[in-house]
Structure 1
């Protein structure tokens, strides 16, 4: 039987997880502002394709940025919480860097532009997310192998 002892530094992991909850609210407010500017009424998730104005395009970019955030948040949080058991400070730093990258991704995407290429400004979130997934996987293997 394996005993898991939680390092006091795991509190930093919880704080990093909390940063993603805050980022979700930032996304909600951000998307709401662009929705209002584009005059897109609920329940429409996006401005219709027939709208080619800048406000509609930027709303669609903000909405897609938020959708991408939500698509990745759950798996990132799982990896963060698992990796943090064995590597609390590294995981916490990667989790906070993920949130910061997601902010850059959102603000870059908000600029609109052809194909929403501004999002590449925060694409580094993938490095942190994949790193956390790798640390989580390593932690599992280490536990099974009794390392």
Structure 2
């Protein structure tokens, strides 16, 4: 049996994970502001395809950025929490960088650039998410092999 001792630096991991919850709330506010400006009533998730005005387009971009965020956040947070067991500082930095990248992704995408290309400003989140997942895998293998 393995005994798990949590390094006090794991607190940074918890703070990085918590930052994702606040960013999710900010996504909701951001999307709500674009929804109001575009005059898209609930429960519609997106503006109708026949709406080609800029307000509708920006709302759709902001909404898609939020949906993409909630598609990726659970995996990123789980990987952060698992990777942080052995690598708390590295994981916390990567988790914080993931959150900053996701913020940049949201802002860029919400600007409504052609084809949603503004999201590329924060596309580096994939590097941090993959890095965290890789560290989590390493931790599992290390525990099994007794490293």
Q: TM-score, normalised by structure 1?
A: 0.99
- CA deviation after TM superposition for structure 1 residue 113, in Å: 1.8
Unpaired segments ≥5 residues, structure 2: none
Matches within 5 A, 1:1-147: 1-147=1-147
Map Cα deviations across residues 72-121 of structure 1 (whole Å, 9 max, x no partner): 00000110000000000000000000000000000000110211000000
Matched residue count: 147
Q: TM-score, normalised by structure 2?
A: 0.99
Map Cα deviations across residues 26-48 of structure 1 (whole Å, 9 max, x no partner): 10000000000000000000000
Unpaired segments ≥5 residues, structure 1: none
C-alpha RMSD over aligned residues = 0.4
Map Cα deviations across residues 46-89 of structure 1 (whole Å, 9 max, x no partner): 00000000000000000000000000000001100000000000
- CA deviation after TM superposition for structure 1 residue 126, in Å: 0.3
